Structure 1
Amino acid sequence: MSYSVNAWLLVLGCVTVWYCQAVDHSTDLEWKLWTRRFDKSYATQAEESLRKTTWLHNRALVLEHNNRPGVTFRMGLNSLADQSAANRSRIQLPWARDNRIPISGRNSHAPAEFDWRKKGVVLPVIDQGQIGSVLAYVTRDAVSSYGAIHMGSLFNLSVRRSLTAAETAMLGPVFECVHKIGGLCLAQDYNTSDCQRPTCKQVGQVDGGRTVTSGDEADLQMAVLKTPVLVAIDASQVSFQMYQAGIYDDPNCSPTRLDHALLLVGYGKDSSGNEYWICKNSWGKAWGMQGYVYMSRNKRNQCGIASAATYPV
C-alpha cells in the first residue's frame, strides 16, 4: 500500500503535534512541581505567565550548561528560577578600604585546606529575601565569627544594628563603623532603629578592620586563616543565580563590577586539583550547596573575590 505525499505530511504533522503537546504537558507538570516545592504563588495570572516564561528561559540555560562537557559546576532550578538575573536585588559596594595594614609575610606552611565551619564559629545560613542590604548580613556574620574565635561564644547578633553600620559604611570602612557605634547587640535585645548607641549590651565588638591587598589571593588566604572575611563579588551572571554545586567558574563575571557580598570561611581543592574558596551566601539553604558556593581560587581573581576583601580586627 502506498501513501500520497499529503498523507505522509498529515502523519508527520500529527506526530509533531503529539510530541509538542507531550513536551508542553511535561514542562507544565515540572513547573507546577517547582512552584509547590518552593511554595510559590502569584497575585495574578498575568504575573504567573511572566514568571513561567522567565522560568522556561532559565530552565533552557540550566540544561544547556549542565550538558556542556568540562564544566566544573552544575546549575539547577532553585527558588530564584522565576527571576531574571537583571531583576535580582543588587547593591553597589563602593565602600572605602579599611585600614590598609599589610598582612605580615606569607605563610609557606599554610594548610592545604581550611574551613571555619568545622570549628563551630559560623552562624547558620539565612535567606535575606528581597532585602538589598546583603552587606548588613555579611558584616553581622563576620563580627559574630570574629567574636566566637576570640571569646569562645558564637552569638546571633542583630542584623538591624548591623544595617546601621552597613548603611553608614557605604562611604567608609564597615568594621570601623561597627567599632564607632560601639558594636553589635544580640538579635533579641536590639531595641532601636536610629543611629544612636542602643541600650542593650553590645557583645559583638571589634577594634576596626583590615583590608586584603586588592586582587591578591595569596593575601586573601592569609586573611581567612585569621578570621572569616567579607568579600565582594560580581554576582550578576545567571550562572551564579542558578548555581547548584561544584566550583563556580564563569569567565564572564567581572573583577571590578562588584554587586554582592559573601562570607569567606575557608578554602580547598577538589580531586582534580581545582582550587576553590568556601563562601557563605545569604539566599537560603535551598540555593547552592546548603547555602554555600565554592568560588574559583587562584584563577585571575575571578568575579573580584579578592578585589575588596575586608575583615574585622
Structure 2
Amino acid sequence: MSPFSLRSFSMNKCIILIGAFVAISSVISSTDLDAWQEFKTNYSKHYANETEENYRMKIYIKLKKEIDKHNELYEKGLVLFKRGVDKYSDLTDEEITSRRRGFDSNMTRPESEADDLEYFVGSSHYKLPDYVNWREKGVGPAKDQGDCGSCWAFAAVSAVESHLFIKKGVRVSLSPQNIMDCSSKYAHSFKQRFFNNGCSGGWPDQAFKYIKHHGIYTESAYPYEAKNRACQYKHYQKSRISIRGYHTIPSGDERKLKETIAKEGPVVVVIHAGHLFDSYRGGGYYACLLEKHILNHVVLAVGYGTDKFGRDYYILMNSFGVGWGDTGYMYLLRNMENPCGIATNAFYPIV
C-alpha cells in the first residue's frame, strides 16, 4: 500500500501553495485560545511569566493556522504531505535550528583514516528490488534526541544497532550519550582526535571511527541525558560493542545509495531539514528540493519504494520520537537530483 497518493500533482504549484500560508494573520480568536489551552495541557507547558506565555502563544497560533491551511490543501489533493503540531510548536525556527539540528558542514572534520574510509563499489548489473523496508525486518523503532542537536549520534548508533541485527541477529540498544561525550573535541582520553560537538552537532562518520577504536556502551550502561557531559569511558569495563569500520557512498550518487540500502542495510544520510520538516506528519515530502546544499540534520535511510502513481520515495527514520512524522518516519521523494542533499554525505558501518 502506498504511503501517499494523489489524483494529480504539480510540483511547482504545490510549492507555491505551501509558501502562500507561511505568513498567517495573528488575530487571536476564542478558537485559537481553546487550541492554545489544549496544546499546553497536552504537552504540560508552563511559562515563567505572562509575557513569555503571550509570546509563545502567538508563535503557536500562527503555526497552527499555517498547518490547518496546509492540511486543507492536503485533503483536497493539492499537496502530498500533511503536517501537525508537537511539543516544539511554540518555538521559533531559529530556536529549533539551534536546539534540534545537529549538523553543520562548516564544522572541523579531520581526514579519515585510510582503513576507515572505504567507498562502496557495487555492481551495475545487480538487479535491485523495487521495494525495500528494513522496518519490516525488525529495524527501529525511532528514538527521541530531545532538546539537543544530537541527531548525528542517534543516526550513527541506530545504524550500528540495525546492522548488528541484520547481519548477526543481535538486538541491542546502544548509547548515543557515550558517542556525544567521548567523541567530543573536548575529550582528551584517547590518542585519536575527534571533532564532534555533542548537542551542538557532529559528523556521523567520526562517530563510527570512535566506535571502531573504542567501542560503545549499551544504553542501560550509559543512559542518555540530552546534554553535554564529560566522557565516562572506563578502560577496565569490557562490555563495549565495536565495529570493523565503515563505508561511504560516492557523493551525490543516488543509484549507489539505493543499492547500498538494498544490499547492505540502513544508511546514515545528511539532509536539509527546514520549517516544514519539523511539522511533517506523513505523505511524500518534497519541501527541500531547492535546498540540497544546506545540510543541517542527520537521519537513517531504512528503505525505498515507488507508489502506485510512479513516484519514487525513500523511507527515513528520524530521531524526534514516534510522535513525529509517520510514527517517527518520513517518506522523502526520490530521484529528484539528490533531494534534500540525501546522497551528499552517506555512510554505513561494517559490523
* TM-score, scaled to structure 2: 0.75
Q: CA deviation at 1:297?
A: 0.9
In the alignment, the residues of structure 2 paired with residue 36 and residue 285 of structure 1 have an alpha-carbon distance, to the nearest angstrom, of 19
Q: CA deviation at 1:193?
A: 4.8
Is 1:105 equivalent to 2:116 in the alignment?
Answer: no
Please list, as runs of the form range in 1=range in 2, the aligned pairs for 1:74-113 lying within 5 A after superposition. 74-88=82-96, 89=99, 90-94=101-105, 95=109, 99-106=117-124, 108-113=126-131
Please list, as runs of the form range in 1=range in 2, the aligned pairs for 1:64-213 lying within 5 A after superposition. 64-68=69-73, 70-88=78-96, 89=99, 90-94=101-105, 95=109, 99-106=117-124, 108-120=126-138, 122-164=139-181, 166-167=183-184, 168=194, 170=196, 173-181=206-214, 183-190=215-222, 193-194=230-231, 196=233, 198-213=235-250
- Tell me the SS of whatever aligns to 1:139: helix
Between 1:81-90 and 1:251-260, the stretch displaced more is 251-260
For 1:246-286, what per-residue CA distance to the aligned partner results, in whole angstroms no more than 9, with x for missing partners?
Answer: 01111465212211110111111222222111111111111
Q: CA deviation at 1:218?
A: 0.8
For 1:92-146, what per-residue CA distance to the aligned partner results, in whole angstroms no more than 9, with x for missing partners?
Answer: 34346761423222354211111111111x2322221111122111111111111
User: Aligned-residue CA RMSD in angstroms?
Assistant: 2.5
The answer (yes or no) to whether the contact 1:208–1:312 under 8 Å persists in 2 is: yes
Bigger CA radius of gyration: 1
- Report how many residues are paired: 290
For 1:168-215, what per-residue CA distance to the aligned partner results, in whole angstroms no more than 9, with x for missing partners?
Answer: 25476431222012x212222249952755433345321111111111
The answer (yes or no) to whether the contact 2:119–2:250 under 8 Å persists in 1 is: no
Alignment match, 2:266: 228
Alignment match, 1:310: 347
Alignment match, 2:56: 51
- Tell me the SS of whatever aligns to 2:281: strand
Alpha carbons of structure 1 residues 136 and 291: separation in structure 2 relative to 1, 3 Å: same
In the alignment, the residues of structure 1 paired with residue 135 and residue 231 of structure 2 have an alpha-carbon distance, to the nearest angstrom, of 33
Residue identity over aligned pairs, in percent, reads 29
- Tell me the SS of whatever aligns to 1:247: strand
In the alignment, the residues of structure 1 paired with residue 151 and residue 278 of structure 2 have an alpha-carbon distance, to the nearest angstrom, of 15
Alignment match, 1:297: 334
Alignment match, 2:39: 34
Alignment match, 1:7: none
Alpha carbons of structure 1 residues 55 and 23: separation in structure 2 relative to 1, 3 Å: closer
In the alignment, the residues of structure 1 paired with residue 71 and residue 126 of structure 2 have an alpha-carbon distance, to the nearest angstrom, of 37
Q: CA deviation at 1:70?
A: 2.6
- Tell me the SS of whatever aligns to 1:221: helix
The answer (yes or no) to whether the contact 1:74–1:244 under 8 Å persists in 2 is: yes
In the alignment, the residues of structure 1 paired with residue 125 and residue 314 of structure 2 have an alpha-carbon distance, to the nearest angstrom, of 18
The answer (yes or no) to whether the contact 2:179–2:207 under 8 Å persists in 1 is: no
In the alignment, the residues of structure 1 paired with residue 238 and residue 165 of structure 2 have an alpha-carbon distance, to the nearest angstrom, of 16
* TM-score, scaled to structure 1: 0.84
- Tell me the SS of whatever aligns to 1:185: coil
Q: CA deviation at 1:166?
A: 4.9
The answer (yes or no) to whether the contact 1:223–1:229 under 8 Å persists in 2 is: yes
Alpha carbons of structure 1 residues 242 and 100: separation in structure 2 relative to 1, 3 Å: same
* Structure 1 portions without partners, runs of 5+: 1-21
* Structure 2 portions without partners, runs of 5+: 1-26, 185-193, 197-202, 224-228
The answer (yes or no) to whether the contact 2:272–2:340 under 8 Å persists in 1 is: yes
In the alignment, the residues of structure 2 paired with residue 196 and residue 31 of structure 1 have an alpha-carbon distance, to the nearest angstrom, of 44
Alpha carbons of structure 1 residues 253 and 58: separation in structure 2 relative to 1, 3 Å: farther
In the alignment, the residues of structure 1 paired with residue 183 and residue 67 of structure 2 have an alpha-carbon distance, to the nearest angstrom, of 34
Alignment match, 1:218: 255
The answer (yes or no) to whether the contact 2:103–2:298 under 8 Å persists in 1 is: no
For 1:221-243, what per-residue CA distance to the aligned partner results, in whole angstroms no more than 9, with x for missing partners?
Answer: 111120211111111x2110111
Alpha carbons of structure 1 residues 190 and 214: separation in structure 2 relative to 1, 3 Å: same
In the alignment, the residues of structure 1 paired with residue 149 and residue 28 of structure 2 have an alpha-carbon distance, to the nearest angstrom, of 37
